Amino acid sequence: MSFLNSDSLLDLLVKEQVLTGEQRQMVILHKGKQRQKLLKQAGGRRQGDENRTDRGFPDLVDIILSLGLEVSGSPGTPLSEEIIMRAVSHRLKIPFKKLDPLELDMDTVTKTIPRSFAINHLILPLELRNGVLDVVTYHPDNHHVLEDIERANQVKVRPFLSTRTDIRKILAEFFGFQRSITAAESQFGTTGTAATVDIGNLEQYVRLASTKELSSTDQHIKAAVNHLFSYALEQRASDIHIEPKRDICLVRFRIDGILHTIYKLPKAVHSAITSRIKSLARLDIAEKRRPQDGRIKIGRREEDREAEIRVSTVPVAFGEKTVMRILNPEVIFQQLDHLGFSRRDRVVYNSFMTAAHGIVLVTGPTGSGKSTTLYSTLKQIATPEKNIITVEDPVEMVYEEFNQIAVQSQIDVTFSTILRNILRQDPDIIMIGEIRDLETATHAVQAALTGHLVFSTLHTNDAVSTIIRLQDLGLEPFLIASTMLGALAQRLVRRICPHCAEPYTVDAAELRKLGFPVSGRETVELTRGKGCLQCRNTGYLGRMGIFEIFPMSEQLKKLIAARANDSDLRQVAIREGMTTLREDAWRKVQTGLTTVEEALRVTGEMEAV
């Protein structure tokens, strides 16, 4: 009988102060009732035949968990499988390993031991280094299984313990995905590989799809693509990159702003996976020489969740590179209070939202959260009494309360052409995806002058630079001064993981050298994440915004009309209370929300104060 299915487990949990003596007796009584019930259902057995029913008998760990017990001495803390396995690990001196799929190599997991062997014995290979194979198992007494692995692979095995749930999940995901990829590779052979590549002549290596590729509806490729989407949602990825290289195909996820390599796939399946994605996005799968854009809507039945995926393909040296931006409604539509506004900035931004007319510009580089801010803003102010029209390229997220128009440049449906006619649609609020030229800017000003509230984006480094950028486009300064309510510049910083946050002390002089406004103290106590299982040892979990809000005042309007430079505008705005991006980042560092490193990463090196 397995150790985890014997009363020895209960004795261990009592010694580790996970269960009380009373709880132990409760489990034993429940176990006896379950066995009697099973024997009765089996029609009665002789006493010596009871072991034959063990196959159908619930695991002792399952029995413990089914009782809904709390950890001894910790009222309110439910007893979990991980707590049980950590107690077993501590008592038996076998290290516990919390499994992170992003740290595992698919080839090691799927090619070291056979699938049936791994599933039957609940054993998962982790890493082979210097003749030592790390494996994770659920059964601490599986010595003969570990010896079989050592003999078969000619290595020394080092065991770790983990939960049955995590092991089963990863085995199912990795072997399922590997089986799909292997079957697809077998079907497509070596299609798409090249012995030599002349980077200087790109087109000859962008091969048109063969009939075999175009007509393929292979279930293995479908399963592989579905796995990628599901896995990306599970890992909170914002982007999926599929990158063809000379001999392999890389799959990378962007999580909390950082790219992680997830899979290294055979080059042979790259074209088939790309064709499947392009087919779902309604793109031309035969066209491989030009960039294409499309979108896919996906859902997970078990969670009743949906997400939009924006697909972009471009030809690169070794094939087509595909990037998919995952637009999750839970992220795109948020409460404004959750975005990271300070109290002062929230009040100022609220005055923009409630204005009767004018222009509000949100600025920042690609991936800085502008769409989230705009969508969250529009959702908050949307009511049945207001007609909200958006003009986007492309429509990021479909939302029923907005009237959304997609730019289609191929048929001359551009920002400027739509804005010429949009006022006839009786809008109250207009959102323009981006102001790119003078004509679009002029139409936005016209809408604001005729009593409409206009939101849009502009690519500038800070909020004050929006004025100079509009002037560079050719907009008259007096029109800017009379229509603009203000500008909002933003960036995204990673949040410190709340599960492993810890205080630490920093030399104030070092902070001052970096440009942070620290007073005359010798040291400053800040917060950082030391790294844990929840944050994959990065110290960060999730992201938040840092903001610079530039509200228009009478003095600023006069300066703009007089064509003042951005330095003068910035000085006046700061005197009037504007918080810069760097100052907002520093405030979030001081309050323990992010780190000095993140503040420097998104705002750049600061001049010493």
Query: Quick one: which of 238, 267, 264 has its CA closest to 250?
Result: 264
Instruction: Tell me if 595 sits within 8 A of 543, measured CB to CB.
Output: no
If the chain, 609 residues long, is cut into consecutive pieces of 10 residues, what is the mean pLDDT of each piece?
78 88 87 78 54 56 86 83 90 88 79 87 89 90 88 90 89 80 67 38 33 50 86 87 92 88 87 90 88 82 70 92 87 84 92 94 90 92 92 81 84 82 90 90 92 93 93 94 95 92 90 81 88 81 92 94 92 93 92 92 62
Around 213, how many Cα atoms within 13 Å sit in the side-chain half-sphere?
27
Instruction: Quote the CA–CA distance of 450 and 471 in Å, as a whole number.
Output: 21
Query: Quick one: which of 105, 96, 110 has its CA closest to 162?
Result: 96
Beta-bridge mates of residue 358: 453
Question: Strands 453-458 and 484-496: what pairing?
Answer: unpaired
Token output for 512: 């001052």
Look up the pTM and report it: 0.68
The beta strand positions in 267-333, using DSSP E, are: 292-300, 305-316, 319-327
Phi-psi region of 553 (alpha: psi -120 to 50; beta: other; left: phi over 0): beta
Beta-bridge mates of residue 258: 255
Query: Which contiguous run of DSSP H or E holds residue 259?
Result: strand 258-266
Domain map (residue ranges) of the chain:
1-92, 332-494+543-579
Query: Which contiguous run of DSSP H or E holds residue 543?
Result: strand 540-551
Instruction: Quote the CA–CA distance of 283 and 292 in Å, as a whole number.
Output: 7
Q: Looking up tokens 């909390």, which residue turns up?
A: 256
Token output for 538: 């990065």
Which value, to the nearest 10 degrees, does the dihedral of the CA atoms of residues 462, 467, 469, 470 take?
A: 140
Query: Quick one: which of 581, 598, 580 has its CA closest to 589?
Result: 598
Question: Strands 429-432 and 403-406: what pairing?
Answer: unpaired
Which one-letter amino acid corresponds to residue 427? P
* Architecture, CATH, for domain 332-494+543-579: 3-Layer(aba) Sandwich (3.40)
Long-range own/partner contacts, residues 517-520 (CB < 8 A, 24 or more apart): 517/583, 517/586, 517/609
Max Cα distance, the chain (Å)? 101
